Amino acid sequence: MAQEGIEHRKVRLKQILTLLDQEFPEPQIALLHRNPFELLIATILSAQCTDERVNKVTTKLFEEAPSPKSLAELPLKKIEKLIGSVNFFRNKSKNLKICAKQLVELHNGEVPSTREALVELAGVGRKTANVVLGNAFGKPSVVVDTHVKRLSNRLKFSRSSDPEHIEKDLETIVDKSRWIDFSHLLILHGRKYCKALRPQCEKCPIQSLCPSKIVRV
């Protein structure tokens, strides 16, 4: 089968977004936060961990350490105890403490609003930086997590397995004004319908526009 041209992908994507907008009229990030600092910490913790688990952990963590300074001063063992139920909590505890110290010493206790500065922080990669840029600062960013990666491949919007390459592929077909909520919509759709092991194609509202749909007889 011939590869779909970029203009056709753009048209199909707009049709998909129209349907997803109806399915998820108020898409937003699931991580609970009140400011850029809390979002940054929550996103670092969310790596290979559910948002529900992270939200339970951060409720107590932010009571103990509501600012970069207070988190930097918190003993490592105390941080480990507070986030002990998340995956890789020991490594994440070290990163949180170092990250908080970097915010205090390098950024006057503020979360930087550029990708270049964010990725220099402990525990922060491109995905985490894009989450913070889009959701804390309103800067258009495409977040490629496991759901977005899976759906981008299934919808044939990207044939790459590399998150940064997928991000670039999506930026070429998604209007910049939709970059932030586009990621939210794909994440929500992935959780509800287009699951990794058992995609619910029969119930999927965009199955007619999906090249990978499974039709069971």
**Dist CA 195 CA 33 (whole Å):** 26
Active site amino acids: 127, 145
In 3D space, the residue among 180, 177, 190 whose CA is nearest the CA of residue 135 turns out to be 180
Structure tokens at 190: 């992935």
**Dist CA 128 CA 133 (whole Å):** 9
Coil, helix or strand at residue 51: helix
**Dist CA 22 CA 90 (whole Å):** 41
Cβ-count burial of 159 within 10 angstroms (0-12 exposed, 13-18 middle, 19+ buried)? exposed
Other C-beta atoms within 10 Å of 18: how many?
11
Alpha helices for 65-178 (secondary structure H):
68-73, 76-82, 89-107, 115-118, 126-137, 146-154, 163-173
